[in-house]
């Protein structure tokens, strides 16, 4: 290996640390800007996940795999959101043991309100640091990484919000 090869080779650990630290820095800023008077970031995660589903509904066990919360936290969060009228729960008609969680019209309205403010903050932070080509490259690299580590699983798919 030549000196030039050693200079350009980056260890997977260094790449991970860079990715992780960038994510933490961006999330800290986004948290500061987040419209928490509307919903919390954790509530937003649940509302966002439901908003991108067909008919804005999904089984609670699937919601568990698509959010950043743990299973007990999702169950408690759903119950709190039901209490606020933002989501509704029903028995899964295809399997009486399952629960369907549905984003209500009020829940979608509140999600949409938070998404507009959150989207402006995300856009500001991302475009402050990256140009259009770099944003496309970042998206492609992150997608490639997600597919590589998840084996192509759709559990963590991130889509453009319907806001």
Lowest average pLDDT, out of 23-27, 69-73, 117-121, goes to: 69-73
For tokens 């990715």, what's the residue? 19
Gap between the Cα atoms of 142 and 20, Å rounded: 12
Q: pLDDT at residue 25 above 90? A: yes
CATH architecture, domain defined by 34-131: Orthogonal Bundle (1.10)
Which pLDDT belongs to residue 37? Answer: 87
- Better pLDDT: 102 or 155: 102
Q: pLDDT at residue 120 above 80? A: yes
Q: pTM of the predicted model, to two decimals?
A: 0.78
Q: Encode pLDDT of 37-56 as tens digits.
A: 889 999 999 999 999 999 99
Gap between the Cα atoms of 47 and 67, Å rounded: 10
Gap between the Cα atoms of 82 and 145, Å rounded: 35
Which pLDDT belongs to residue 162? Answer: 41
């Amino acid at each position: 290996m030549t000196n030039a090869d050693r200079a350009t080779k980056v260890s997977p650990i260094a790449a991970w640390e860079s990715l992780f630290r960038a994510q933490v820095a961006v999330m800290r800023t986004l948290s500061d800007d987040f419209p928490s008077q509307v919903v919390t970031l954790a509530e937003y995660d649940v509302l966002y996940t439901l908003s991108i589903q067909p008919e804005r509904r999904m089984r609670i066990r699937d919601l568990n795999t698509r959010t950043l919360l743990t299973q007990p936290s999702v169950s408690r969060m759903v119950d709190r959101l039901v209490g606020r009228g933002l989501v509704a729960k029903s028995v899964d008609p295809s399997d009486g043991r399952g629960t369907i969680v549905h984003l209500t019209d009020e829940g979608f309205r509140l999600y949409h309100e938070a998404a507009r403010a959150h989207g402006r903050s995300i856009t500001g932070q991302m475009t402050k640091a990256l140009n259009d080509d770099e944003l496309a490259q970042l998206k492609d690299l992150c997608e490639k990484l997600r597919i590589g580590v998840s084996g192509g699983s759709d559990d963590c798919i991130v889509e453009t919000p319907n806001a």
